[in-house]
Amino acid sequence: MLLLKEEDVKLLLTMEDCIKAVEESYRAFGLGEAVMTPRENLWLAPPVSLKLASAALTSWGYMGTYVYPGGYGRKGSNPFSTILYNSRDGRLLAFIESSFLSWYRTGATSAVATKHLALKDSDTLGIIGTGRQAWTQLRALSKVMEIKVVKVYSRTLDQREKFASDASRDMGIDVKPVVDAKVAGQNVDIVVTATTSKEPVFHGEWLGEGVHVNAIGAHYPEIREVDTETVKRSKVIVDSREQALKEKGELLIPIQQGLLTSDVIYAELGEVVAGKVKGREEYSENTLFCSGGISVEQIGVAAWVYEAAVKRGLGAQI
């Protein structure tokens, strides 16, 4: 078995390669060449839990499980681990420390969704949230879109100003701190919500026409980052219907209130990537990607990292 530690993964995984691995994982899922289980929570004492999910990309010859603790707050690193097997003979191939992998994978998934759902000439981005994932979202989206202007908001003035200054310098993009979420979310082509908020931080009344929204920060049934109006005014794409209807508050809250039904989900991202259904059909329509993170994308990226490690002779055999 190959042991890959965080420092190995950082050497092996570029954002460009992560985006390719995620896109091909979704293509396989859309073509019926991958199967998965939704994320499960083993509750110790709410909100502390052990989370795990499994997937097999049968056409690739890999299967595996990823697992991580949740609910320990920002001081706990919530380390991800991925166990990878050969799906054809059951051999244990690798144990991969996967916090960096998961961080990059989340940004890469938004990039894939944006590539397939946003207007091709999109060049303005609004980000609500300035944590580590906001960085990854910006880095990933800039690989698939020619982003020229970014508006960023978080509740702390110093954080949003520092994010804007650092991102402008490091990425060569005009990143501007703004005074509230409404300013960040209005008059842009793409919106990303990357927060830990339990209440909506983006509202449908702010939507113009032809906007694409990536809602990535919430995956519990009682919390959401975008309101019901956003869902109503958008073509809704999810990573997995089964998992979304188990944990995505953006959908579950209005469904439980009787305002929507599960039919609000237009398609899974894999169906769009595989060409089974069209994503954006009209220039003026809004699209919403409700992202929770699924095991297919995690195992797909882990498989890519494993193959790269074997080729480069990285990691430790144990």
CA 83 to mean position of chain CA atoms: 20
Distance (Å, rounded) from C-alpha 152 to C-alpha 145? 17
Q: Which fold has domain 2-102+296-317?
A: ornithine cyclodeaminase, domain 1 (3.30.1780)
Classify 62 as helix, strand or coil: strand
CATH code assigned to 113-293: 3.40.50.720
What mean pLDDT comes out for the span 72-83? 74
Predicted local distance difference test score (pLDDT) of residue 76: 47
Q: Region 176-194: what's the mean pLDDT?
A: 97
Q: Write out the E strands in the chain.
A: 2-4, 34-36, 40-45, 48-57, 62-70, 81-86, 92-97, 124-128, 149-153, 174-177, 190-193, 212-215, 234-238, 265-268, 286-290, 316-317
Structure confidence at residue 314 (pLDDT): 96
**For the chain, which residues make up each domain, given as ranges?**
2-102+296-317, 113-293
**Does residue 308 surpass a pLDDT of 80?**
yes
Q: Which residues pair with 64 in a beta bridge?
A: 55, 84
Residue 190 in this model has a pLDDT that exceeds 70 = yes
Residue with the bigger pLDDT between 73 and 271: it is 271
Mean pLDDT over each residue of the chain, to the nearest integer: 95
- The rounded percent of the chain whose pLDDT value lies above 70 is 98
The secondary element (H helix, E strand) that includes residue 8 is: helix 6-12
Q: Give the separation between CA 35 and CA 113, rounded to whole angstroms.
A: 20
